[in-house]
Amino acid sequence: MDFQVSARKWRPQKFSELIGQEHIVRTLSNAIELERISHAFVFSGTRGVGKTTTARILARVLNCEKGPTIEPCGICSFCTEITEGNCIDVLEIDGASNNKVDEMRDLIDKVGYATSAARYKVYIIDEAHMVTQQAWNALLKTLEEPPPRVIFIFATTQLIKFPETILSRCQCFEFKPLSQS
């Protein structure tokens, strides 16, 4: 029997399974239905409210073989690869350990390449508040003039540490704390 951490086993896989973030689900769903998807998002909120989970769901929503669709199938190769963390076109980056300007420049170089198979290239940068000011400055031009079909999702617990120049180029969502009930 394969061991799986219960948080991963029971993690929501679709927008309809997210709890307590209806305002975000509604806004993202409308954007997908209207085909008006932003090129950059900031997901902010306390630890454990679903920022990274929502980022992964959004990556599936955008790249599902049936999509872009509000409810990804969960069984196509893109959905399963994204769920397993094996999709070459969806990269999760730890902002705390990849926060320097040289690492950001490497990322910017990769952004210029076309997707290998997916519809969108998605970069999920977790703990993005740890990125240095110099690294943000290096990314600024890419956020101003993003390549087509490239999406950035920055997840943070400390929005106050984000430069205003970055925030002004992203669609920002504040995740509400989950209630105990």
CATH class, range 16-174: alpha beta
Name the region of 74 (left: φ>0; alpha: ψ -120 to 50; beta: rest).
Answer: left
Predicted confidence (pLDDT) per residue in 112-126, tens digit: 888 888 899 999 999
Query: What is d(CA 159, CA 165) in angstroms, rounded to the nearest whole number?
Result: 13
- Write down the pTM of the prediction: 0.91
Distance of CA 106 to the CA centre of its chain: 19
Query: What is d(CA 93, CA 178) in angstroms, rounded to the nearest whole number?
Result: 25
Strand order in the sheet with 90-94: 90-94, 121-126, 150-156, 40-44, 171-174
| Residue of 14, 17, 27 whose CA lies nearest to 172 | 27
What residue spans define the domains of the chain?
16-174
Predicted confidence (pLDDT) per residue in 126-175, tens digit: 999 999 999 999 999 999 998 999 999 999 999 999 999 999 999 999 99
Predicted confidence (pLDDT) per residue in 12-69, tens digit: 888 888 888 999 999 999 999 999 999 999 999 999 899 999 999 999 999 999 978 8
Q: Helix, strand or coil for residue 40? A: strand
